[in-house]
């Protein structure tokens, strides 16, 4: 029997996906108007600790204010624990991994009160313990205060390898030990770019960082 090939981080195979916060200016000017009414105390944000969406008596109301910033891109963060995504981005994500996401449509209003284009709150619904710790280069903090007793600290740089037998056909996922960070495969990134959403020179709100060189 041939020896199995060693696992190591492969450049261009997996990516850390985050909202792009590098653009100039104030950022987006969207205000989550009814977040306080929708959230369930004692939570300070709408997203439950276990993820997903809580029961909501009304649609999330998002209102654009030109005084606060620019129009939203295809992906924006900071929405009480969720991403805000455009309809075309939602469609691209669902086409690649329909089971990987949960969405709730918003009532999105422009500055004059008129109805804006369709936007959704988005949560990555899948969690996989897929990081190969032995083959990765990262700092692992062990402390009983963290879920599962450990936390992946990627500050200062990291190089992550993933266990493909755990990932299977999944295109996007969180891990139990990296907080709210989201990882995706190259196929999902390429599908987003092929849909005309962002790219190497214009992110449209999506920032992909190669997981082999964070």
Q: How far apart are CA 133 and CA 103, in angstroms?
A: 31
Q: What DSSP state is assigned to residue 50?
A: T
Instruction: State yes or no: pLDDT of 6 exceeds 60.
Output: no
Mean model confidence pLDDT for the chain = 94
Report yes or no on 93 lying in a domain: yes
2: confidence class by pLDDT, cuts 50, 70, 90: very low
Residue 6 within any structural domain of the chain: no
Q: State pTM to two decimals.
A: 0.92
Look at residue 166 in the predicted model and tell me its pLDDT. Answer: 97
Q: Establish if 44 belongs to a structural domain.
A: yes
Paired with 131 in beta bridges are: 162
CA–CA separation, 174 and 58 (whole Å): 28
Q: State the average pLDDT over residues 89-99.
A: 98
Residue 7, in any domain of the structure: no
In a domain, 109, yes or no: yes
Of 37, 42, 84, give the one whose Cα is nearest residue 56: 37
Distance (Å, whole) CA 172 – CA 126:
7
Tell me the mean pLDDT in the region 10-38.
93
Report the pLDDT averaged over residues 39-45: 95
Look at residue 5 and tell me if it is in a domain.
no
Q: Which pLDDT does position 4 carry in this prediction? A: 53
Q: Model confidence over 117-150: pLDDT tens digits? A: 999 999 999 999 999 999 999 999 999 888 889 9
Q: Is residue 4 part of a domain?
A: no
Task: Residue 158: give the domain boundaries.
Answer: 14-210
| Greater model confidence, 6 or 27 | 27
Task: Give me the number of domains the chain comprises.
Answer: 1
Task: Tell me which DSSP letter residue 146 carries.
Answer: S
Is 197's pLDDT higher than 90? yes
């Amino acid at each position: 029997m041939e020896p199995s090939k060693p696992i190591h981080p492969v450049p261009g195979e997996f990516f850390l996906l985050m909202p792009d916060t590098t653009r100039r200016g104030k950022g987006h000017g969207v205000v989550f108007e009814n977040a306080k009414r929708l959230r369930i105390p004692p939570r300070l944000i709408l997203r439950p600790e276990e993820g997903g969406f809580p029961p909501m008596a009304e649609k999330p109301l998002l209102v654009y204010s030109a005084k606060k910033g620019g129009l939203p891109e295809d992906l924006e963060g900071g929405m009480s624990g969720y991403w805000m995504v455009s309809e075309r981005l939602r469609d691209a994500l669902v086409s690649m991994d329909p089971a990987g996401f949960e969405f709730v449509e918003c009532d999105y209003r422009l500055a004059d009160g008129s109805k804006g284009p369709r936007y959704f709150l988005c949560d990555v619904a899948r969690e996989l313990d897929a990081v190969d710790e032995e083959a990765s280069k990262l700092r692992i903090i062990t402390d009983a205060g963290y879920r599962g007793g450990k936390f992946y600290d990627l500050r200062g740089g990291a190089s992550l390898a993933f266990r493909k037998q755990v990932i299977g056909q999944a295109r996007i996922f969180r891990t139990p030990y990296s907080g709210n960070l989201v990882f995706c495969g190259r196929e999902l990134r390429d599908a987003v770019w092929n849909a005309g959403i962002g790219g190497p020179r214009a992110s449209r709100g999506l920032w992909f960082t190669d997981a082999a060189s964070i």
